[in-house]
Structure 1
Amino acid sequence: MGMARARIADDVGIPAVDRAVREAASRDDIATAVRYTLQLLAERSPGNTLEVRVPPFGAVQCVEGPRHTRGTPPNVIETDAETWLALATGTKTWADAVAEASTSASGTRADLTGRIPLLKLPR
């Protein structure tokens, strides 16, 4: 087991998300924003039934359910940073992300309905 990544504080994560979704953000802002919102997802939906991947920035396991013991979880969601941040902030719905194929979801529990948005930014 590697060391757990340090928790990103709200006062660092929220402004990074805000910059990442509103302007031409730096790669560091996008990376911080993705990791912060994945951290929120894992905190609010703890478990290891579903793996959410946002390459190259991060991945988390979340959602309670049957425990898998090795290899890739049976339920995987993968998307790009822009789509993930739109989902996390509520500017895109789960149904839209899946319909436009910007997001791949495999497995019976690979569904974020009711788990997103994670953060509402002021307009």
Structure 2
Amino acid sequence: MARARIDDLAGRDAVATWRAAQDGGASADRQTLALAVRYTLQVLAEVAPGGTVEVRVPPFGAVQCIEGPRHTRGTPPNVVETDAATWLALATGSLGWEDGRAAGRIHASGQRANLDGLLPIIR
């Protein structure tokens, strides 16, 4: 069964709350962080639909995206995984893809595991 779609207003509010906390040197509560991550993953899947790359942000969520060969069983060949703070920084543009990779904050495996050009997804 598919997850319920997160309302755009609620999702954008969660991202804005997370961003305000970051700007103030604080951290958002876990519920807000989870909603912001899930919403931005939802937006990514809508912007780049497909099943070639799996983007994981444990423990909050994962989506498959980008058109191409679809993966259905076992470990996907193209995986991007990162923590929640890094994902939200990528999704909002405060961290670039190459900078995140160079800093070791993004783990990407597979020939197509590259989100450069798709990010940021929330401006």
TM-score, reference length from structure 1: 0.93
**What residue is the counterpart of 2:9 in the other structure?**
11
| Equivalent-residue separation in structure 1 for 2:72 and 2:20 (angstroms) | 40
Question: What amino acid maps onto 1:33 in structure 2?
Answer: A
Distance (whole Å) between structure 2 residues aligned to residue 18 and residue 91 of structure 1: 13
- CA distance in 2 between partners of 1:72 and 1:44 (Å): 23
Deviation at 1:66, TM superposition (A): 1.2
Q: List structure 1 runs of 4+ shifted beyond 6 angstroms.
A: none
Match status 1:112 vs 2:115: yes
Q: 1:68: how far off?
A: 2.4
CA distance in 2, matches of 1:97, 1:64: 23
Displacement of 1:21 in angstroms is 2.2
SS in 1 for 2:75: coil
Q: Which runs of 5+ in 1 are unaligned?
A: none
* Residue aligned with 2:55, SS: strand
**1:22 deviation in Å?**
2.1
Q: Percent identity?
A: 63
1:84 matched to 2:81: no
Q: Quick check: 1:68 aligned with 2:74?
A: no
Q: Which residue of structure 1 lines up, in the alignment, with residue 20 of structure 2?
A: 22
Q: How many residues align?
A: 118
What RMSD over aligned residues (CA atoms) do the two structures have, in Å? 0.8
CA shift for structure 1 position 71: 1.1
TM-score, normalized by length of structure 2?
0.93
